[in-house]
Amino acid sequence: MYLRYIIMNKIIHLLFILLLSSGIYAQVKDSLPDFSDEYFLVKDGDTLMIKLDEVPLLPKHKFKSRKDVNYYYWFRKKVFKAYPYAVLASKRIDSLNARLNRIESKSKKRKYVRRVQKYVEEELTDQIKKMTKTEGRVLIKLIHRQTGNTVFQNIKILRSGWKAFWYNTTANVFDLSLKDEYHPETENEDYLIEDILQRAFIDEALESQIPKLQIDSYAILEKRKGEVDVEKYKQMFAKMRKKRKKKKRKKK
């Protein structure tokens, strides 16, 4: 419990630092409608134009066993818990940088940054402290997805390479890397995250925010054809069960 507390404290500080990052990315703007996708109905000489929303179809899941379904939905809960914080981080970065660009005085900029940091601390501290190591790892990856920079890169931009090195070294002690990138096209865990997100967006179970990282989500999901690999989590829980059994034996 003490180690988990330290891990979560580090993630909290890293998220705060990330929110103060100076990197600015342009939001995708609305474009003129493409009438090639419109459908027209003609009745009694009147023309009615109807815009049909595109409904993406994702491959049906292919599970190896019923147990795999349970592990998938266990991991889904982790993604659902971490994603809103990554979205919030991206929004705060955008609004912070937009405001800072309008402030000329350096002292006023520092005051504003401190005020935002205090607000974010009050807003997020209690929730993030309750995160598990898996949720913390997912959050680090999702921050890369939503902001376009890894946590390590954002710290380096704000502070220094030396500061980023020590943050990363500390995180590695607890099996967390601030250099973790999001690669759903090659990494199985990232693919599962993307699969969960896209299905949640379709169901409107999560807020869809355009990621700063360029991802061809549907091509990635289509390539895997719905195959679900949760062996990593099955092995993780198997180790946890062994440890519990050993502890019980020692107590006897």
Query: 6-15 pLDDT, tens per residue?
Result: 656 666 666 6
In this prediction, residue 110 has a pLDDT band, given cuts at 50, 70 and 90, of: confident
Helix (H) / strand (E) containing 41: strand 39-43
Higher pLDDT: 69 or 94? It is: 69
* C-alpha to C-alpha distance for 81 and 88, rounded to whole angstroms: 12
pTM for this entry:
0.74
* C-alpha to C-alpha distance for 110 and 102, rounded to whole angstroms: 13
In a domain, 196, yes or no: yes
In a domain, 33, yes or no: no
Find the range with the poorest average confidence among 27-36, 43-52, 57-66, 191-200.
27-36
Judged against a pLDDT cut of 50, whether residue 34 lies above it is answered with no
In a domain, 136, yes or no: yes
* C-alpha to C-alpha distance for 129 and 178, rounded to whole angstroms: 17
Most confident residue range from 14-23, 115-124, 147-156, 167-176: 147-156
- Segments in the chain forming alpha helices (H): 2-19, 66-100, 106-129, 133-147, 151-158, 161-173, 188-202, 217-224, 231-251
**DSSP string across 150-191:** -HHHHHHHHS-HHHHHHHHHHHHHTT--TT----TTT-HHHH
Closest CA to 133 of 169, 172, 165, 184: 172
Tokens of 88: 């919030």
In a domain, 58, yes or no: no
Are 176 and 119 within 8 A, CB to CB? no
Mean pLDDT of the chain: 78
In a domain, 233, yes or no: yes
Judged against a pLDDT cut of 80, whether residue 201 lies above it is answered with yes
- 204 burial (CB, 10 Å; 0-12 / 13-18 / 19+) is exposed
In a domain, 70, yes or no: no
Count up the domains in the chain and report the number: 1
In a domain, 72, yes or no: no
In this prediction, residue 3 has a pLDDT band, given cuts at 50, 70 and 90, of: low
CA geometry: angle at 17 spanning 15 and 21, to 5°? 110
Find the range with the poorest average confidence among 92-96, 106-110, 176-180, 183-187.
92-96
Across the range 97-113, mean pLDDT stands at 82
Residue 165 structural domain: 1-11+83-239
Higher pLDDT: 149 or 15? It is: 149
In this prediction, residue 16 has a pLDDT band, given cuts at 50, 70 and 90, of: low
In a domain, 250, yes or no: no
